[in-house]
């Protein structure tokens, strides 16, 4: 039973790690800008614009944890 609670605690920590906001562009480390190809920079800017364009998103899923005779399952709805 201890491993189940440890697994659920780990799952909760991983889920909370996804709680972040998409902020503005961060300044690259000095010297990095010169090393990035213009095509890669354009792709990165397009990726950031696509992420920022998403106003809302959601995630739904199920999880099951088992170890021998111990186990459990759960559902997650994230909006």
Q: What confidence score (pLDDT) does residue 68 get?
A: 87
Is this model's pTM higher than 0.75 or not? no
Query: What is the DSSP secondary structure assignment for residue 70, as one 8-state letter?
Result: E
CA atoms within 13 A on the CB side of 34: 2
Q: In the chain, what are the domain boundaries?
A: 1-17+44-79
Radius of gyration of the chain, Cα coordinates, nearest whole angstrom: 19
24-68: pLDDT as tens digits: 666 666 655 566 688 888 998 999 899 888 888 888 999 898 988
pLDDT at 79: 81
């Amino acid at each position: 039973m201890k491993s189940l609670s440890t697994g659920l605690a780990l799952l909760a920590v991983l889920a909370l790690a996804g709680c972040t906001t998409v902020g503005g562009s961060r300044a690259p480390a000095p010297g990095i800008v010169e090393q990035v190809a213009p095509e890669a920079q354009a792709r990165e800017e397009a990726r950031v614009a696509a992420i920022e364009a998403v106003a809302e998103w959601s995630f739904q899923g199920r999880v099951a944890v088992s170890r021998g005779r111990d186990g459990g399952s759960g559902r997650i709805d994230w909006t």
